[in-house]
C-alpha cells in the first residue's frame, strides 16, 4: 500500500510540472487548439493629452544658420619686464620706450544675423578696440566685417558684412517669454565650433549686476561660456529672445547663471544704430540715489519710492531747472519713481529737447517743475 501511494504522489507531481510548463510556454494548447491572437503593434501617437517628443531639432535648424562665429585681432602692449602694481607707476612705465612691445592679440565671440542685407548683432565687448573682425558663417563662408555702430551702455554692437543669401533670425514678436520657458543658447564656446545648449528662463528683469549701465537681463541656466558672448538665446520655436552677454562664474566656466539682453532692447538699439549711427538717450544731468529705510525715516517719508539727488552737473538740464543736491524726486510725468534704476530707464526714452515734469520734495515742501531733457553724453566702457 505504501508503494502505491508513492507512485501516485510522483505521478501527480510530474503532471503538475507538465501543466506548469504548458501554461507558461504554450498557453494556446489549452484554448481548444485555437491560436492566441498576435499582440497589437505599439504605435506612438501624439494626441491632445499626450506630450510630443522632447526634441528641439526644428528650433535649432531654424535659428542656427543665423548664428555666426566672430574672430577679432587687436594690437596690445606687452611688457618686456614685470611692471609695478601701482596704477600710476604702471601707466608711467608703459609709456617709456623699450619697456613694452606691441603684439597682435586674438579673441573670439559670436553674433546673430538679424537682417538679410548683412546686419549682425553682437556684444560691444566682443569687438571693442578690434583692428580686424572676421565672421564665419554656419554654411562655411567667411568674410571681414565692419562696425556700423555700438552702444557701450547696453553692451551691444552692430556689424555689417557684404555677403549675399544670408538667413536672418526671426524675433519673438509677441514678447511672451516667461520664467520657466525652455530656451536654447547657440554660440561658439571656447572656439570649439557652433554649439547649442538647453535650459530654462530662470528670471526676468535682472539688474544691479554692475555689468552695464542699463540692465534688464534675462537669466538662464542654459550653459553659456566664453565665446558665447553675442550669440543667440532662442525659444522652443527658434525665435530670438535675447543676446547672450555674461555669466556669473568663479571658475570662468558655466555655473548655470547666465545673462542675456532681451530681444526687444536689442531690436530697438539695432534700429537706432542703423538709422542714426548711434543711440540717443534722454538725460537730466543728475546722480540719483536710492532711498534707504534710514533715509526714509530721516526725511519723514511714507515710502521708499523716489530718488534722492546726490549730485547735479553744473550747466546740465537739472541745474538749469534749479534742482539741488538733497532734493527728492518723487514722480516723473506724474508716475511714481520706484528707484534709481527705474528713474534712469524712464528718462532714457525721452527725446532731447522735450520737457518733463518732476514732482520734487525739498525741505518738507512738495512742488512741481519742468526740466528740458538733454542728450546723454556718450560713455565708454572701462578697459
Catalytic residues: 125, 155, 229
3-state secondary structure of 55: coil
Q: Are 358 and 371 in contact (CB under 8 A)?
A: yes
Closest to 259 in 3D by CA, of 221, 227, 226: 221
Instruction: Report the distance separating Cα 281 and Cα 256, nearest Å.
Output: 33
Instruction: Report the distance separating Cα 64 and Cα 139, nearest Å.
Output: 10
Say which DSSP state 166 is in: -
**Beta strand pairing call for 142-144 and 146-151:** unpaired
Q: What angle do CA 161, 166, 170 make, to 5 degrees?
A: 110
Closest to 133 in 3D by CA, of 120, 114, 115, 152: 120
C-alpha grid cell for residue 270?
Answer: 539695432
Q: How many CA atoms lie within 13 A of 53 on its CB side?
A: 6
Q: Are 69 and 107 in contact (CB under 8 A)?
A: no
Per-residue b/e over 198-235, b at no fewer than 16 CB within 10 Å?
Answer: bbebbeeebeeeebbbbbbbbbbbbbbbbbbbbbbbbb
Q: Are 288 and 310 in contact (CB under 8 A)?
A: yes
Amino acid at each position: 500500500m505504501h508503494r502505491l501511494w508513492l507512485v501516485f504522489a510522483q505521478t501527480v507531481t510530474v503532471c503538475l510540472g507538465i501543466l506548469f510548463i504548458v501554461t507558461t510556454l504554450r498557453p494556446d494548447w489549452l484554448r481548444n487548439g485555437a491560436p492566441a491572437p498576435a499582440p497589437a503593434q505599439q504605435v506612438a501617437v501624439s494626441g491632445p493629452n499626450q506630450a510630443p517628443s522632447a526634441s528641439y531639432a526644428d528650433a535649432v535648424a531654424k535659428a542656427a544658420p543665423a548664428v555666426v562665429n566672430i574672430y577679432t585681432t587687436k594690437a596690445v602692449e606687452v611688457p618686456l619686464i614685470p611692471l609695478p602694481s601701482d596704477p600710476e607707476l604702471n601707466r608711467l612705465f608703459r609709456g617709456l620706450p623699450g619697456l613694452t612691445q606691441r603684439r597682435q592679440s586674438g579673441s573670439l565671440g559670436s553674433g546673430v544675423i538679424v537682417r538679410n542685407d548683412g546686419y549682425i548683432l553682437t556684444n560691444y565687448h566682443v569687438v571693442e578696440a578690434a583692428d580686424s573682425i572676421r565672421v564665419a558663417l554656419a554654411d562655411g563662408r567667411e568674410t571681414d566685417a565692419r562696425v556700423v555702430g555700438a552702444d557701450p551702455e547696453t553692451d551691444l554692437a552692430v556689424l555689417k558684412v557684404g555677403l549675399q543669401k544670408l538667413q536672418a533670425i526671426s524675433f519673438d514678436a509677441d514678447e511672451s517669454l516667461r520664467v520657466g520657458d525652455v530656451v536654447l543658447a547657440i554660440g561658439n564656446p571656447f572656439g570649439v565650433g557652433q554649439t547649442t545648449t538647453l535650459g530654462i528662463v530662470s528670471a526676468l528683469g535682472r539688474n544691479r549686476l554692475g555689468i552695464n549701465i542699463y540692465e534688464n537681463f534675462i537669466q538662464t541656466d542654459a550653459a553659456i561660456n566664453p565665446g558665447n558672448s553675442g550669440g543667440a538665446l532662442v525659444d522652443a520655436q527658434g525665435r530670438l529672445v535675447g543676446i547672450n552677454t555674461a555669466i556669473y562664474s568663479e571658475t570662468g566656466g558655466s555655473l548655470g547663471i547666465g545673462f542675456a539682453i532681451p530681444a526687444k532692447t536689442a531690436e530697438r538699439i539695432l534700429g537706432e544704430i542703423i538709422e542714426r549711427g548711434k543711440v540717443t538717450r534722454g538725460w537730466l544731468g543728475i546722480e540719483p540715489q536710492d532711498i534707504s529705510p534710514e533715509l526714509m525715516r530721516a526725511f519723514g517719508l511714507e515710502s521708499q519710492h523716489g530718488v534722492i539727488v546726490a549730485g547735479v552737473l553744473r550747466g546740465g538740464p537739472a541745474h538749469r531747472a534749479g534742482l539741488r543736491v538733497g532734493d527728492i524726486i518723487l514722480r516723473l510725468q506724474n508716475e511714481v519713481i520706484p528707484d534709481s534704476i527705474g528713474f534712469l530707464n524712464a528718462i532714457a526714452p525721452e527725446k532731447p529737447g522735450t520737457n518733463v515734469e518732476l514732482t520734487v520734495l525739498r525741505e518738507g515742501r512738495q512742488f512741481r517743475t519742468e526740466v528740458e531733457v538733454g542728450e546723454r553724453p556718450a560713455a565708454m566702457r572701462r578697459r
